Structure 1
Amino acid sequence: MNTVALGQTGLLVSEVGFGGIPIVALYPDEAMSVIRHCFGLGITFYDTANMYGDSEMKIGAALEPVRSRVILATKTMKRQADDAAKHIEQSLQNLRTSMIDIYQIHQIAKRETLEEVLAPGGAYEALRRARAEGKVRAIGFSSHNVETAIEACRTSLFETVQVPFNFIESRAADELFRVAETMGMGIIAMKPLGGGVIGPAELCFRFLQQFSAVVPIPGVKTCEEIDEIVGLYQNRETLNKADREEIERIRSELGTKFCRRCEYCLPCNKGVQIPIVLGFRGFASRLPPIATLALVGPAMRSAESCIGCDECIRKCPYELPIPDLLKENLALFREYEARYKD
């Protein structure tokens, strides 16, 4: 596996990384086998987050013997410095390391959130202090909102940016990537397979290979999945006419149903947690049933409060038929809950 420079961070990473959500569904020994298999294939970049269940602990245990040969990235959802500092210490312990290569502020979706984390006493203060103390090497952020991500990049305070990027969620290529590259930032692409919703894998990664500065971090939970992805990088093929036609077909089919999690629809005046409800299929495909029900159950039930006012449709930049999608996903959740609750 080739290595690439992650912007101007000084970090060299494998051109494909490892996304740490799906291993939550594995037993510890299974997760260790998958992670070490990835390392054996040349994967040196591992991304996780404090909120991903036991993902940090599994990655830390598997990679402790080769810590000096890998790049570890994790995240905190905390917005205040004291809380973020506690997460940093917990992540250091979970990952079994004295220094985290990239520590990211998780999901900066709105300008208000950006202002909150950068304000005195905000989360950024804790990350900057940790970097000064040698506990963190680079500071980054993740976002599902392109406009807010551009604003965050332009502050010059972050060294990496992580956003969803695939052939359906492709708006980041219009301006965000240019801004990030100009700022010398490393670009990390989460959801290269749309959270497991889109495929096939060869189309997804041929599309991504057009963007040499972008490092995708697919979430995998089997050796076969990463074998396929690595094979697509060892035997590259450019998109041909048939590929592009198939991409357009999938875009047309999913484009009016696929939530980009930009959060423009929020807040709902009835308290419906719209992005989580619309992302149910992705949660169910990547997490074990017990974790899915615990993590998204309350949010899914919030969809029962929808009154069909259509305010969310008016705010959605993609004009998704959100009330209809809420009903559809709530019905799927009820079937899922009935099957796995006991």
Structure 2
Amino acid sequence: MAESAQNTSMPYRTLGRTGERVSAIGLGGWHLALPSVDKELAIRIVRSAIDRGVTFMDNSWDYNEGASERRMGKALKDGYRQKVFLMTKIDGRSRKAAARQLDESLERLKTDYVDLVQHHEIIRYEDPHRVFDENGAHAALLEAKAAGKVRYIGFTGHKDPHIHLHMLEVAREHGFTFDAAQMPLNVMDAHYRSFERLVVPELQRQGIGVLGMKSMANGIILKSGTVTATECLHYALNLPTSVVITGCDSMEVLDQAITAAESFRPMDAAQVGALLARTAEAAARGRFEPFKTSSIFDATASNPDWLGDEPKRLRELMPA
């Protein structure tokens, strides 16, 4: 993967122990197929982001019934694919479901490989066990990596930091270390069920790339009236993140994200403390992080068939 335009002011960071250099801001894929974003605008957002130095592209097999991947695939034609580090996610927990979803993602994205594929929505304590079952999704991703369809493997989740730690532990028991992990990292997370405090230090210890998401919780955090969009992005960038992934549904929002990355300077303890003090009361019970406290953001809960079959060995234990 070649870096995007070198004459930009975009900061670049290293993705954990992979050594890959990626833009500090990543372009989220979900917003690219919202009702307010037509195909032409989506392509313009992707290509403009790349032209301005964004190299990390986020997507998922389940975003907008595949429309997000299809639009990104169109945008990455004409030489743009070679300029980016392309990531997508799969929901399948079984080997069969994961392999099928990955192949569908590759077809939609119009590419032979993705740089990073992630097990999506690890939000239940049983998810790691299903993934690492002998006929689980991890086996499919290892096969895909051997076949050149995947370069790196990670996982995502938005529910509880202890489930992330559980995923890391189950992976360790199977002799595997992830290349990246994605989680909510924002000015309110530090106060409630905190990924920043519990998961990030462990990722650093293992050399796993830290991917931050939900820096504004799809705008919900801004409704608290405690912080601005730029403050949200700067706070997330100040953490030991390799990439802060942010969704952009307009050129104005894209410009806001890129300007925030270009203007970012490391924050001192007093600056961080001031932001945390300002958000403490609003953040205390997770009100502005509903992905932690409700099922509204749990796409796989609404679509359990995406996960695929339960492990055969468990089904055989059930009474006839």
Question: 1:257-283, CA deviations, whole angstroms, 9 ceiling, x for partnerless residues?
Answer: 2345347xxxxxxxxxx421xx69xxx
Contact persistence 2:210–2:240 (CA under 8 A) = no
- Residue 106 (structure 1) shift: 0.5
Q: CA deviation at 1:223?
A: 1.3
C-alpha deviation, 1:74, in angstroms: 0.6
Give the structure 1 partner of residue 255 of structure 2. Answer: 227
Structure 2 stretches of 5 or more lacking a match? 1-9, 223-227, 304-320
Kindly provide the amino acid, as one letter, of the partner of residue 253 in structure 1: A
Q: Residues of 2 paired with 1:125 and 1:238: CA distance?
A: 40
Counterpart among 233, 237, 240 of residue 205 in structure 1: 233
Which deviations, in whole Å up to 9, do the C-alpha atoms of 1:227-280 show, x marking residues without a partner? 1222122222555868854553344135432345347xxxxxxxxxx421xx69
- Counterpart-to-counterpart distance in 2, 1:168 and 1:213: 16
Q: 1:161 to 1:28 in 2, by over 3 A?
A: same
- Alignment correspondent of 2:163: 148
Partner of 2:53: 42
Q: Map Cα deviations across residues 5-53 of structure 1 (whole Å, 9 max, x no partner).
A: 1101232211110111111111111100111111111000011101102
Query: Using the alignment, how far apart are the partners of 1:178 and 1:250 within structure 2?
Result: 22
1:253 aligns with 2:282: yes
What SS does the corresponding residue of 1:218 show, helix, strand or coil? strand
For 2:6, the equivalent position in structure 1 comes to none
Partner amino acid, structure 2, of 1:18: L
Q: Which amino acid in structure 2 is aligned with residue 30 of structure 1?
A: L
Q: Report the RMSD for the aligned CA atoms in angstroms.
A: 2.3
Question: How many residues get paired?
Answer: 272
Q: In the aligned structure 2, how far is the partner of 1:252 from the partner of 1:100? A: 41
1:172 to 184, 195, 219: 195
- Alignment of 1:58 with 2:71, yes or no, is yes
**Does 1 or 2 have the higher relative contact order (CA < 8 Å, sep 6+)?**
2
Q: What residue is the counterpart of 2:33 in the other structure?
A: 24
| Matching residue's letter, 1:12 | R
CA 1:233/1:49 → structure 2, altered by over 3 Å: closer, same or farther?
same
Q: 1:126 Cα deviation (Å)?
A: 0.6
Task: Report what 2:309 is aligned to.
Answer: none
Distance (Å, rounded) in 2 between the aligned partners of 1:173 and 1:227: 27
Change (3 A) 1:79 1:242: closer
Q: Under a length normalisation based on structure 1, what TM-score does the superposition of the two structures give?
A: 0.74
Work out whether residues 49 and 76 of structure 1, in 8 Å CA contact, stay in contact via their aligned partners in 2.
yes
TM-score scaled to structure 2, two decimals? 0.78
* Identity value in percent: 27
